[in-house]
Structure 1
């Protein structure tokens, strides 16, 4: 598709919206897969047979989903990954290219097999269970020629890693760090080699179970404090909480004030929850003052700003599939960082994008475009 027609299709130059970020190139490293999504009335018990209501095939994979979201919002993403030269790999790349994701950096393995995922969507509980089979062979550092890598990163605003294939990911991350490119790392679960990526991270976005599993700390707020103390180059950490929204600690705007009173991180979080207006259905936020000293007993103290982002209250009848909601959130954060959104704007925007994505089957079918009217108020706020 020609550049002009692509822009018109995506609504990139709507006069009702703020201008696109000046630098919107994002390089992402991670998984691309093909998802087989089966809908069932209720998740089966062991050794039970159930009737599937439908079976559909979609593109998937954390990095591929997040970059597709970023592309639809107006960024220019490039994906580094590896697929087999099988039919799955070819269809996965064709779908990404149709959505404006640059796949010129994708390594194609001759005779290899591509990653696939079986997703079971439970209509009764509104959950999804994923069973994925990794592609063969796995990507290795030698698959990343340094000259090509430097060229790919040359104009990037951000580098993003979905936390998978950590050995080759480290090669990309180390080069990005040498070039001074901010790094966003997704931390979904404990994984060998993930610590090396977190050492280089500028921003971290976690799944709900990760912070306490990674730190062995008793509460979520204290675990986030522990993560920021362990990784001093990280400017903020966010944990996504599904229908409960998200929790963020941001230390970017905080100066060094020795007279700040220390506030228990758990107590502050609970007090902020009480400020949430339950009658508001659209995503919003509540936060501490600009700078507080967060105390986590037995761990330490940290100067930062604590924010709670709320999720959209979606009528149950409108929720079709939560697959890829976290990827949509990350894609929106990538856009927000390129656009210079403050966290007070970024969290509601990302929660709104994730909520829209839950209204369609598969990880990408519901991802909104920049011109989607449901995003208009969130995008216009970037000028305020």
Structure 2
């Protein structure tokens, strides 16, 4: 255990989530759902999350709420429907690959008039293409994407199409992540660089032998993709922790853990060079236990102290 005292919590500690909740059926039953998982991560890191979602007035819904409250998530904004059923997911874990197959049973979606809009920064976990995603992304300040066919070009395209976005991240599992950060520097002397070529250069600079997460960043430049346009900013490549096979249990919820840690980092005003390794470390910790939440680290976890100091 580290003897160094933890730094004070960020002044901005209230985090609001809007999204799906569910119960995941594993060897044991535990809470799931992207938003619920991410905000549980946020709560364990010491912030004050509030969750906007919808469950049914059934035993599963009651279990979902009780588990969130036990971790310090404010559930007073969750709509409890007298009809329907709460969402739940059957998870099939592959013992060899430590990956999972999800069979999801949705509940009733949250209606537009059951949530309100506030003037607060918004991070959206895009995950994959869904109906209505474009409308949500128009509201976002930050975005995370867990599927992309051509990563650098896709990130550049998102920043061009969504001028409100400050950065966008795509996670790549054991390969780490790639982040494109927009900057306000409009120096006409900045060099224009092809974004795909720049990513190749960053890959050559990363430390493949490092066991703990690291990252490498480009300088601020004009990032170009043929046929798309240019954005002034930085491209940052983050690595994942190299988890020993004997410690890897289940990758369920790793992306949600990454998102939760990213939210904490935004509230703590961490620079990207610190944020990406921190988020990768939190995601790796969660892969060492079964399910989406059992392995989520708390703020006092000695593995977190170097990133929070």
Q: TM-score range by the shorter chain?
A: over 0.9
**Pair 1:375 & 2:304 matched:** yes
Point out the structure with max Rg over C-alpha.
Answer: 1
Question: Is residue 266 of structure 2 the alignment partner of residue 346 of structure 1?
Answer: no
Displacement of 1:220 in angstroms is 1.0
- 2:233 partner SS: strand
Partner of 1:9: none
Q: Tell me how far 1:328 sits from its aligned partner.
A: 0.3
Whether 2:196 is the aligned partner of 1:224: answer no
Q: Give the equivalent residue in structure 2 for 1:263.
A: 193
SS of residue in 1 equivalent to 2:231: strand
Say which is worse superposed, 235-244 or 119-128, in terms of deviation.
119-128
Number of aligned residues: 307
State the superposition RMSD in angstroms.
1.2
- Aligned with 2:21 (options 32, 37, 60): 32
Matched with 1:7 is none
Which residue pairs with 1:114 in the alignment?
A: 86
1:65 and 2:29 correspond: no
Report whether the alignment pairs 1:21 with 2:15.
no
Q: Provide the residue aligned with 1:326 in structure 2.
A: 255
Name the residue aligned to 1:188.
127
| TM-score computed with the length of structure 2 as normaliser | 0.97
Rounded to whole Å, the distance in 1 between the matches of 2:4 and 2:200 is: 41
> What is the deviation of 1:123?
1.1
The aligned counterpart of 1:201 is 140
In 2, the alpha carbon distance for the partners of 1:101 and 1:15 equals: 27
Matched position secondary structure for 1:120: strand
Distance 1:276 1:297 in 2: 26
TM-score, reference length from structure 1: 0.78
Is there any run of 5+ residues in structure 2 with no aligned partner, and where?
none
More helix per residue: 1
Q: What do the CA deviations read for 1:111-152 (whole angstroms, capped 9, x no partner)?
A: 3310000111101122111111001x33212334xxxxxxxx
- State the 1:262 CA deviation: 1.0
**Match of residue 77, structure 1, among 39, 49, 67:** 49
Per the TM alignment, residue 15 of structure 1 is displaced from its structure 2 partner at its CA by 6.3
